[in-house]
Amino acid sequence: MTSDEHLMLEFQQGSREAFTELFERYREPVYGFFRRRLRDSARAEELAQETFLAVLRGAVRYEPRASFRTYLYAIAFKQVSGEWRRAKREAPSVDIEAGTHEDPGDALWLRSAIERLDEAQREVLLLREYEQLSYDEIGALLRIPVNTVRSRLFRARMELKALLSPERTEREGSKP
């Protein structure tokens, strides 16, 4: 399979097929990236469009210094950060919420637990678990050292494990 970076370089040379292939590879992950971070599905779709259009427009400036995945998610992260800033100005609380097609009970339980994590830890966890980025890629994206990525990820997982434990869930579920 042709690498993402090679496809991007082919697109720079004018290959439409290369971009179509890249879009096919990352359409769902990028949409999921926004969907897990934004309440509004329409807005998530718009930002996913903006991300791909930014790749389209910025192809001339692309240099394969980092992986294409890091490049793509850096654009996406910039988009969502701007959206968060704007949403914070307009509405105080922005909670992650997404539509699911599986058991809504499990997803809600899980989402509420993730939502309770520290913001910095949560972002590292999401990038690792759902976007499948490596520690180095997460560090480059968030501009933090790899050791920080590792420690935040460990704390996030331990915290989530505690939040997802049956005892705690039952205890919190029994509260009026």
Which residues of this protein are in contact with another protein, per CB under 8 A? 11-16, 19-20, 23, 27-28, 30-32, 35-36, 41, 45, 48-49, 52-53, 56-61, 86, 89-90, 98-103, 106-107, 110-111, 114, 128-130, 134-135, 150-151, 153-154, 157, 160-161, 164
Which is closer to another protein, CB of 43 or CB of 66? 43
How far apart CA 78 and CA 153 sit, in angstroms, is 21
Side-chain-facing half-sphere of 104: CA atoms under 13 Å:
3
- For residue 144, give the DSSP letter: -
The first and second tokens of residue 162, run together, are: 């505690």
Task: Please enumerate in sequence order all residues whose Cβ is within 8 A of that of 8, keeping only pairs 6 or more positions apart, or say none.
Answer: 18, 22, 59, 62, 64, 68, 71
- Minimum CB distance to another protein smaller for 170 or for 176: 170
At residue 83, the 3 state secondary structure works out as helix
Question: Whose Cβ is closer to another protein: residue 118's or residue 154's?
Answer: 154
66 vs 87, beta carbon nearer another protein: 87
Residue 119 CB, shortest distance to another protein, in Å, is 17
Supply the minimum distance, in Å, between the C-beta of residue 93 and another protein.
17
- Taking the complex as a whole, how short is the minimal distance between the CB of residue 48 and another protein, in angstroms? 6
Are the C-beta atoms of residues 124 and 153 closer than 8 Å to each other? Answer: yes
